[in-house]
Amino acid sequence: MAEKFCLSNPNLTDEDHLYHIALSTSDNLPQRFGDVKYVCMGGKERRMQKFAELLYDTLGKPKNSELTEQPTPGHRLKNISQSGGRYCFYKVGPVAIVNHGIGNPSLSVVLNEMLKLIHHAGCTDVSFFRIGTSGGLGMKPGTVIITKQAYNGLLENCYRQVICGKEIRYPADTNPQLAEDLLKCAKDFKIEAIAGNTMGTNDFFEEQARLDGAFCEFSRQEKSDFLKRAHDEFGIRNFEMESCCFSGLCARANLKCAIVCTTVVNRLERDDVTADKSLLEEWEFYPQQLVAEYIKRSC
Ligand code: R2B
């Protein structure tokens, strides 16, 4: 029998409150969530709601889903964390779907609580996925990047966390087998995708060498030197703001993870996104399609 996922924190007890996702250990977590095998996270609430609905159809309307009492077209699933007012959370068969907002701090809060949820629920063999959009580096917009290693804004392959006034570094790598399986799904769907390294920053503007934020005191030359170095020396193929925390905390919990992000701009050419709404929607859909297909094939 597969071993139940267990966090190593000795301070966790049978009574726990997961404030930000509005659940606690008195909410029948093993009965409701003990079958979860996949946790899918992404920034926007609306995108994750749509992804949950897509999964509901892709997996053939699994019985062990949490449904809303008053369904409307495209809104059949219950937002389990609605009363918390911070994040959305849907359950579709063996999949938990959650949004994480922007950046490592927002992600860290909900990821801690999702890890505690699968611990209290006694889940087995859980994999974590992050889907989203990103700025590409030398990639044709619309290309999907499946992250191999995450690098922070200092070009270090780690997640730096401050604990009791000290900085600790955790490895920030993803699972190679998951990446390979997702690339295979992309090939079958004829979606352009590559495995590459990702830079996860704590800022959208200057830390990603954008010239168009509220502030900019570096030159165009400094910008292009930095981007070229990231591309050529570190194999960075896209920028986003969560990969270090996501891969760092999953690895720390001994869980497999994958990060699948579409690129919406080539940062070697420009800073702003010029694609129209319908093209952006099409590109944003690729990671959802790939992860939904992966889950369908493997569950
Ligand atoms: C990609 O897009 C967001 C910033 O616009 C951020 O969450 C990210 O990683």
Tens digits of pLDDT across the chain (299 residues) = 899 999 999 999 999 999 999 999 999 999 999 999 999 999 999 999 999 999 999 999 999 999 999 999 999 999 999 999 999 999 999 999 999 999 999 999 999 999 999 999 999 999 999 999 999 999 999 999 999 999 999 999 999 999 999 999 999 999 999 999 999 999 999 999 999 999 999 999 999 999 999 999 999 999 999 999 999 999 999 999 999 999 999 999 999 999 999 999 999 999 999 999 999 999 999 999 999 999 999 99
Residue with tokens 């896209």: 238
CA angle at residue 245 from 240 to 251, to 5 degrees? 125
Read off the tokens for 98.
């959650």
What is the 145 CA–ligand 1 centroid distance (Å)? 14
Specify the 3-state DSSP secondary structure of 88: coil
**241, 130 in Cβ contact below 8 A?**
no
Read off the tokens for 180.
């390979």
Specify the 3-state DSSP secondary structure of 71: strand
44, 46, 48, 133, best to mutate for ligand 1 pocket (most atoms within 8 Å of CB): 133
Indicate the burial class of 275 (C-beta count within 10 angstroms; 0-12, 13-18, 19 or more).
middle
Of ligand 1's listed atoms, the one at least distance from the Cα of 241 is: 9
Q: Computed from CA positions of residues 286, 289, 293, 294, in that sequence, does the dihedral angle turn out positive or negative?
A: positive
**How many other β-carbons are positioned within 10 Å of the β-carbon of residue 156?**
14
Of ligand 1's listed atoms, the one at least distance from the Cα of 240 is: 9
Q: Is 241 in the pocket of ligand 1 (CB under 6 A)?
A: yes
Provide the annotated binding site for substrate.
208, 210
Residue with tokens 């495209």: 74
Specify the 3-state DSSP secondary structure of 116: helix
Please give the Cα distance from 296 to 291 (Å, whole number): 9
- pTM of this structure: 0.98
What is the 247 CA–ligand 1 centroid distance (Å)? 16
Q: Among 21, 23, 230, which residue's Cα sits nearest to residue 106? A: 21
Of ligand 1's listed atoms, the one at least distance from the Cα of 243 is: 9
State phi, psi for 88 to the nearest 5 degrees.
-100, 155
Burial 194-226 (b: 16+ CB within 10 A, else e): ebbbbbbbeeeebbbbbeeeeeeeeeeeebeee
**Amino acid (1-letter code) at residue 100:** H
What is the 43 CA–ligand 1 centroid distance (Å)? 7
241, 264, 271, 273, best to mutate for ligand 1 pocket (most atoms within 8 Å of CB): 241
What is the 239 CA–ligand 1 centroid distance (Å)? 9
Q: Is 102 in the pocket of ligand 1 (CB under 6 A)?
A: yes
pLDDT value, residue 1: 80
What is the 31 CA–ligand 1 centroid distance (Å)? 34
Q: Is 240 in the pocket of ligand 1 (CB under 6 A)?
A: yes
The protein residue whose alpha carbon is closest to atom 7 in ligand 1 is 102
In the chain the domains, ranked by start, together with CATH numbers, are 19-125 (no CATH), 133-276+293-299 (3.40.50.1580)
